[in-house]
Every structure is written in C-alpha cells, then in structure tokens.
Amino acid sequence: MPDQPYTDPLKAEQKRLLKSMVVPVAFVILLWLIRAADVIWDIGMNEYGLYPLKIKGLPGIITAPLLHAGFSHLFANTVPLLVLGSLLFYFYRSLAWKVLLLIWLMTGIWVWVFARGSAAHIGASGIIYGLASFLFLSGIIRREPRLMIITLLVTFLYGSLLWGLFPQFFPKEHISWESHLMGLLSGALLAIWYRKSGPQKQVYVWNDDEEEEGEDAYWKSTSTDDETKI
C-alpha cells in the first residue's frame, strides 16, 4: 500500500485560517465598495434601510446591514466583522453559513417588528452582536477547551459591546440599540439551537478489551464531529 503524502500541520492550519477569512474579507470589501459608490455618485442608498413596521422597510431586512451612515460608522464595524467572522468560519465551519444568514434574517425581522420610530435602521452592528453572542455562548454550552478560550477572547475584545444596548449613554448619537439587542438574542438562540452540532467537547470512554490477552485497558477519546480534530 503506498505511503500517504506527508502534510505539514502548520501549513494546514495556515491554509485553514486563510480560508476562514475569505468570506469576512469579501463581505467587508463589499461594504466599502457600496459606501464608496454611494458617496461618489450620491445615490442615497440609505433610503433602502429598514423602516420598522412599514412596507417600504421590508427590503431593509436584507439591505440594512450593507448600508452605513458614514465611513467612521463603517470603519467601526470593519474590524469586529473581520475578527468575529473569521472565528466563526474557523471553528464552526460546518455551521458558519447557516449561523451568519440566520443572524442576518432574524435580526432584521425582529427589528422590523419591534423597533421604534420612523427613521431608517442601517449598519452591520446587529450581525456583529449576533456573532459575538453566538461565539460567547457556544463556548460555554459546549465546554470545549478551545472554544472556551474563544469565549474569553470575545469577552476581552468585545465585552464593551454591552454598552451599545443602552442608548442613554450616547444621547448625541443615533444608535439602533434594537439592532444590537436583536442581534444579541439571535446569536444566543442559535448557540442553544445548534449546541449539538459542530465541534463538541471530547469525551473519554473506558474500553476494556477482554478478548485479546495481554492488552491493557485504555482511555479512548471520542468525538461527535470531526471539527474537534484541529
């Protein structure tokens, strides 16, 4: 039987890391292109934002995360999208697309139903809150050491996101705290819903083989998902 080709583990991890960044980077580039086009040609794309409980606001469920009030608003969302998006696609690659799209849709629908006022809600911050919530809670629920580290990392980097749920701390800024809250709730709900899918905590099972003499019993690590073998 021919020998299996040797694969450098470090190169394999580097390749996987780069692949996990493809979607977040592409998404951020798209956001910047949309904002640049809006400024250059004065299109007024923010009119396609999400207007709560209005028929004209329904398309905003899809379009609102693509629109931003200015480059400073977009820049503030860029780094969290890259970091949290890459973590999602790296550690939860079998669930990443489902989680991302469901956070997008659930947040948009809930904001359309429950948000206040007549102004348009725009920006990708609801998705950011959803990703942070999903990554934070998933690590706690699964109790898998590597995912717990991600929980701590998200807490350290983005624990301050919680302030975005309280608009009274930012009286001079028009903050869609509803998008933040609905994103947070959608991420938490999906973390619970998909708790048995994706990477799981390794379980050690005692195997006692009595048929083979001279073979000691041993501990064997088992897992329900190949994503734990990183």
Alpha-carbon distance of 209 to 131, in angstroms, equals 45
Q: Is the pLDDT of residue 94 over 60?
A: yes
| pLDDT tens-place string over residues 1-29 | 455 555 677 888 889 899 999 999 999 99
Which residue segments constitute the domains of the chain, with CATH numbers given?
9-202 (1.20.1540.10)
Q: Is the pLDDT of residue 42 over 60?
A: yes
Q: What is the pLDDT of residue 159?
A: 76
Is the overall model pTM greater than 0.85, yes or no? no
The contacts of residue 70 (CB under 8 Å, 6+ apart) are: none
Q: Sign (positive/negative) of CA torsion 63, 81, 95, 16? A: positive
- Please provide the average confidence, as pLDDT, over all residues in the chain: 84
State which H helix or E strand residue 73 sits in.
helix 71-91
8 A C-beta contact, residue 201 and residue 142: yes
